[in-house]
Chain A
Amino acid sequence: MLELSNIGKHYDVAGHRVAALSGIDLTLTRGSFTTIVGRSGCGKTTLLRILAGLASPDTGEVLSGGPAPRIGVVFQEARLMPWLKVAENIAFGLRKRVDRKTIDERVSAILDLTGLSAFRSAMPAQLSGGMAQRVALARALVMEPDLLLMDEPFAALDAFTRRSMQNELVSLWQARKPTIVFVTHDVEEAVVLGQTVIELSEGRVVGRQTVDIPYPRDPTGVEASLCRRAVLARLLTPATPDRMQTKPD
């Protein structure tokens, strides 16, 4: 379990102190799939970077109920090392942790799981956007993370590839059950993927929606549509005066 308590983060932009996050309280249970949704610049990425350890909060703390979780991150861009082949990119974080034989086994298994076996020796420049993002997902999964953080990983993909990747992600989560925090600005995506949807607006949590629909979810179904409308209604509610302007993420 991971608990975020009163997380706050500010940035100095052109001499102004701008609040990116204020008073965020959040509990992530083991094996849960949480989506965080909100407009661009509402602090989603900042929150994810704090969870990943890439940024420190100005206030509050992140507490884990046990040993520090192994973290995997999938960014909005694939961020593959252009000088490494697909298999080497996937093994990038493993080289430090496990022996050569285990690396080979784990990389082969993840290549099979993500349907990338045929591209094992390809260079990143030879991959399509969807394929590159799949490699990035494989690179995160091969670390066998307890906590998988995903920052709008499918935002740059076309609708067909995005849907296919969403389905694959759900299958992988059901098979391995890591705790997933998935950031998106797409309400439909948030509802299709998450067990819980956290609504973020101007650096604050403005709502939570439990999505009790079995997987795989039909985004055009009645239940999903109702959830989407409820989330949208809360996100479209005008901001209260005490909310500060936030830094774009």
Chain B
Amino acid sequence: MPFLMPVRDKIFGVLIAIGGCLTVWWAVSWAGLVSPFLLPPPVKVWRAFVALWSSGELLHHTWASAMRVGIGYGLAVSVAIPLAIVFSASGIVRVVAEPLLEFLRQIPPLALMPLLMLWLGIGEAQKIGIIILACFFPVFLGMRGGIAQADRKLIEVGKVCGLNRWEIIRRIVMPSALPALVVGLRISLGYSWRALVGAELIASSVGLGYLITDAQDLARTDIVLVGILVIGVVGLATDFLLKRLCARLAPWLAGDLEMARA
């Protein structure tokens, strides 16, 4: 099982994968198989990274994107979890609101961008709105699924112990739902970074998405690659931090944490 793999082996595996990719990339560039304009060599991308880092530009864009992701993700999670509990607890709410939510779930968040621009303007609210829409459903559905799958046998233990409905929800159903919620949280976090670039494509003057599209306009594929790599690395780092936080708060979820892949 992967989560039982020693840390040393994991690090070794990551180094092999990165080293292999870099070697192939370098070899393809060196052999001239692809135009340097389309795929600049690793050294050129590294130089672009160093230049952007030294000027503080990269940190500026990364911070702006991270703030948007943080706010959007936080808002989505803080709305999705209570709403999932209400949906699970109330049949009337389910009957009335579920069709609407199911309809919204089918619509890609980016398809709503023109409407969001009209409603929220072209400032931060529109970008954060896109991230909220992208993050909401995995958390909402994860929480609902977790509640629905709460072990009936444990609920019976609660009944035998004399717990009332609210106590059963709080002390048995909610902890039972955590594994599915964690999966939803991690998938959402991945979606938030994916939605970010789309959100920063239009009417943006800062952020990693803006950095990438601006570099594309300037035909600087090296900077485009820097932006892409930074999004990947920051996404991985935030996912790792979330996983560590979950492992600390809920150590019994070790297996479930490895199951969730954003």
Contact = CB atoms under 8 A, between A and B. Distances in A.
Interface of A: 52-54, 71-73, 75, 77, 79, 81-83, 92-93, 96-97, 123, 125, 143
Given A79-B154, A81-B154, A123-B252, A97 B175 contact: no
B157 A77 contact: no
B15 interface: no
B153, B161, B162, B172: residue with the most chain A Cβ atoms closer than 10 Å: B161
Contact of A92 (B156, B157, B159): B157
Given A54-B156, A92-B157, A96-B167, A81 B172 contact: yes
B248 to A, nearest CB: 13
A93 B160 contact: yes
Given A83-B175, A96-B161, A77 B153 contact: yes
Interface of B: 153-154, 156-157, 159-163, 167, 171-172, 175, 178, 250-252
A44 B178 CA distance: 34
Chain A interface mostly: loop
A54 B250 contact: no
Contact of A97 (B159, B162, B252): B162
Contacts of B163: 93, 96
Nearest to B160: A73
A125 B178 CA distance: 16
A83 B250 contact: yes
B157, B163, B172, B175: residue with the most chain A Cβ atoms closer than 10 Å: B157
Contacts of A96: 161-163, 167
Contacts of B162: 93, 96-97
Contact of A79 (B153, B175, B252): B153
21 contacts: A53-B160, A54-B156, A54-B159, A71-B160, A72-B160, A73-B160, A75-B156, A77-B153, A79-B153, A79-B156, A81-B157, A82-B252, A83-B250, A83-B252, A92-B157, A92-B161, A93-B163, A96-B161, A96-B167, A123-B251, A143-B161
Minimum-distance CB pairs A-B, first 7: A93-B161, A73-B160, A83-B175, A79-B157, A82-B252, A79-B153, A83-B252
Contact of A125 (B160, B172, B252): B252
Nearest to A52: B160
B184 to A, nearest CB: 18
Nearest to A123: B252
Given A81-B172, A143-B161, 7 more contacts: A53-B159, A53-B160, A83-B178, A92-B157, A92-B161, A96-B167, A125-B252
Contacts of B175: 81, 83
B167 to A, nearest CB: 7
